[in-house]
Amino acid sequence: TQLLEQSPQFLSIQEGENLTVYCNSSSVFSSLQWYRQEPGEGPVLLVTVVTGGEVKKLKRLTFQFGDARKDSSLHITAAQPGDTGLYLCAGVGSSNTGKLIFGQGTTLQVKP
Amino acid sequence: EPEVTQTPSHQVTQMGQEVILRCVPISNHLYFYWYRQILGQKVEFLVSFYNNEISEKSEIFDDQFSVERPDGSNFTLKIRSTKLEDSAMYFCASGKEGQSNSPLHFGNGTRLTVT
C-alpha cells in the first residue's frame, strides 16, 4: 500500500518567515502534486512534479521532487497572511487510473 | 475557466436512508473520481471511473456504494443505506487523462451529515 506522510501537520508563523513542508513515502511515485484547500472548497492544484530532482517555482513557493521520487517538499519564502490555508501533497498511484494518494495535510497559519 | 460542480453543497440524512450525490465534471474530461474527507482526516480515494465503468475502487467503496454516469453529463455517487461513519465531505474530481502528470480538477464538495 502506498502511503504519504506529510509534516508538520500544523504550522503557525509570523509574516515574513520562511517555512518548509515535507512529504515522504517509502514508495516511488510517478509524479507528485501539491494542492491548496480553502475551507468549504475542494483542493486546487498548485503544481505537479514529475522528474526526480525536479524543482518548480510558483512566485514565493518552491516545490522539489526527491531524486528517488519518494519525497517532496514545499518551501515558502517570506510567508504572507494570504498563504494561510491547508496544503496537501498527493502522489499518483501505481495503478494507472490516475488515483491520488493524499498526505494528511499541513494547516498553515501566517500571522500578520 | 470550466469547473467541476457538485450538488447539493450540504445533505443531511438519517441513518439507513439512501443518498445520491451529484457531480457535473468538466465537459471534455474522460476520467472521473470520488474522494471523501472525514473531518480532521486525510482525503481518501473512493473510486475511479473511465469509459463507463469502474476502473479502480478502494476498500471503503463496498456494496453500499455505487457510481453512475447516466446521461454523459452527470456523475453520481449513491450510498444505499447510510451509516453514521459515512458523514464526511465528498469530493468529485475529473481529469482529461489518467496519466501521472494530468491534473485533477476538484469540485467544492458535498458535506454529508448522517444523523
Secondary structure percentages of chain B, helix, strand, coil, to 5 = 5, 50, 50
Name the DSSP class of A96. S
Measured distance CA(B10)–CA(B2) in Å, rounded: 22
What band does B114 get if pLDDT is binned at 50, 70 and 90?
very high
Whether chain A has a CB inside 8 Å of the CB on B91: the answer is yes
B-chain residues near A96 (CB < 8 A): 98
Inter-residue long-range contacts of A57-65, CB under 8 Å, 24+ positions, other chains counted: A63/A34, A65/A31, A65/A32
- What is the model's pLDDT at position B99? 65
Task: Give the chain B residue nearest A49 (alpha carbons).
Answer: B101
Residue A82 pLDDT greater than 90, yes or no: yes
Residues 6+ apart with CB under 8 A from A46: A33, A34, A35, A36, A58, A61, A63
Residue A83 pLDDT greater than 80, yes or no: yes
Q: How far is A76 from chain B (nearest CA, A)?
A: 22
Q: What is the pLDDT of residues B34-73, one digit of tens each?
A: 999 999 899 999 999 998 999 999 999 999 999 999 887 8
Q: What is the pLDDT of residues A49-61, one digit of tens each?
A: 999 999 999 999 9
Q: Which residue has the cell 453520481?
A: B76
Closest CB to A100 among B50, B104, B105 = B104
